[in-house]
Structure 1
Amino acid sequence: MESPVILQVVGYQNSGKTTVITKLVKRLKEHQIQTGVIKHHGHNDRLDLNDSGKDTERHRTAGASITSVISAKNSILSMDTELSINQLIEIYTVLKMDCIIIEGYKNIQYPRAVLLRDKKGDIDLFNRSETVIALIHENDVKINTNPPQFKWDEEKWLDFLVQYILNGYKERKGS
């Protein structure tokens, strides 16, 4: 089974991670790239499933570890346990995703785009990153380093990230 291209987008709260991922997913869809997103919820509270009064809630309350509901237009899977990032990647691979974008998981290392708001406060995130493929920053942040750097508001980073994923996809497909 072919492994998907994996890109991680990291940054501190309100750095623009969701905006980057949303724009990237839209562009990848234009290229017919099946993209799955994994978002790390960095808090210890329980996620809200919004299925109050539904059969899936009754199944879960009765003790089901996994529930799913499938219709002609979509499927929803819910689990009563935390999955590891590796388990999620395996699931997305089985579902034949061409690309997986990971939002967050600062301490887990995949090829990543690092979003910096300010040099002083965020530089430690860059310094702790092993494989930075792009650095996206505010206008006043400039670091003397190797990976390509992009100003947030110019959006050249979007073309670069799309091309990175397309190149990885073609390489995996052998074309």
Structure 2
Amino acid sequence: MKICQIVGYKNSGKTTVMKEVIRYFSSRGYKIGSLKHHGHGGEPELMKDTDSYQHFAAGTMASGVQGEHVSQLILNNTEFETLISIYKMLPIDILFIEGYKKADYPKIVLLKNEEELSLLDELSNIIAVGSWDEQILRNVSHPAFSIANIGSYLPQLADYITE
């Protein structure tokens, strides 16, 4: 399983880029997984009126529910690398991760403004940089793309990820 992170500060375009890369690779037959870091504090929104949530609230470490076509799993106090291990057990070709800036997987860094250029010195394993502001990209030594025109960059990303 290949792993690629999409990282950046709030409102830098992470979810926009995630959706585009997921659509692109899925449409080409790759089995895609996604993992998002809920970096805004607190917990992700859970459907609290379900039996599986009640099991979770009662103290399970893991609570799941399986429907006809979709399954859902709620995990308690799970470390990032444990989550990666769980994804590795699934028939996934590529895992796209939104967030977890400090992890050392290949990553695309998204920048909103020039002040955020310092991220490029702080983060490891950068494979590309994207921004809504093409002026920012002129100061970048990594492969760069405009988020507004990400479609033109996706074949290059595919070459890197699938090699």
TM-score, scaled to structure 2: 0.90
Which residue is 1:23 aligned to? Answer: 20
Letter in 2 for 1:125: L
Q: How far apart, CA to CA, are the structure 2 residues paired with 1:126 and 1:144?
A: 9
Which residue is 2:98 aligned to? Answer: 103
Q: Is the 8 A contact 1:24 1:162 kept in 2?
A: no
Greater mean deviation of Cα atoms: 101-110 or 59-68: 59-68
Q: How far apart, CA to CA, are the structure 1 residues paired with 2:146 and 2:140?
A: 14
Q: How far apart, CA to CA, are the structure 1 residues paired with 2:140 and 2:106?
A: 19
- TM superposition shift of 1:162: 2.8
Letter in 2 for 1:92: Y
In the alignment, is residue 75 of structure 1 matched against residue 79 of structure 2? no
Letter in 2 for 1:12: Y
Q: What RMSD over aligned residues (CA atoms) do the two structures have, in Å?
A: 1.5
**SS across alignment from 1:161:** helix
Which residue is 2:6 aligned to? Answer: 9
**SS across alignment from 2:153:** helix
Aligned residues: 160
Whose Rg is larger?
1
Distance 1:130 1:46, change over 3 A: closer
- TM superposition shift of 1:152: 2.5
Q: How far apart, CA to CA, are the structure 1 residues paired with 2:110 and 2:7?
A: 6
Which residue is 1:171 aligned to? Answer: none
Which residue is 1:125 aligned to? Answer: 119
Structure 2 segments unaligned to the other structure (5+ residues): none
Q: How far apart, CA to CA, are the structure 1 residues paired with 2:41 and 2:140?
A: 37
Structure 1 segments unaligned to the other structure (5+ residues): 168-175
Letter in 2 for 1:162: A
- TM superposition shift of 1:45: 0.9
Which residue is 2:86 aligned to? Answer: 91
Greater mean deviation of Cα atoms: 59-68 or 21-30: 59-68
Which residue is 1:32 aligned to? Answer: 29
Which residue is 2:146 aligned to? Answer: 151
Q: Is the 8 A contact 2:14 2:110 kept in 1?
A: yes
- TM superposition shift of 1:128: 1.1
- TM superposition shift of 1:148: 1.1
Q: Is the 8 A contact 1:7 1:111 kept in 2?
A: yes
1:108-155 deviation line (CA, Å, top 9, x unaligned): 221111111112x1111111122111111221111252x211122222
Q: How far apart, CA to CA, are the structure 2 residues paired with 1:113 and 1:39?
A: 14
Q: Is the 8 A contact 2:6 2:18 kept in 1?
A: yes
Q: How far apart, CA to CA, are the structure 2 residues paired with 1:105 and 1:31?
A: 26
Which residue is 1:172 aligned to? Answer: none
1:59-115 deviation line (CA, Å, top 9, x unaligned): 22332221110122010001222x222111111110121111111111222111111
**SS across alignment from 1:136:** strand
Q: How far apart, CA to CA, are the structure 1 residues paired with 2:43 and 2:140?
A: 41
Q: How far apart, CA to CA, are the structure 2 residues paired with 1:92 and 1:55?
A: 24
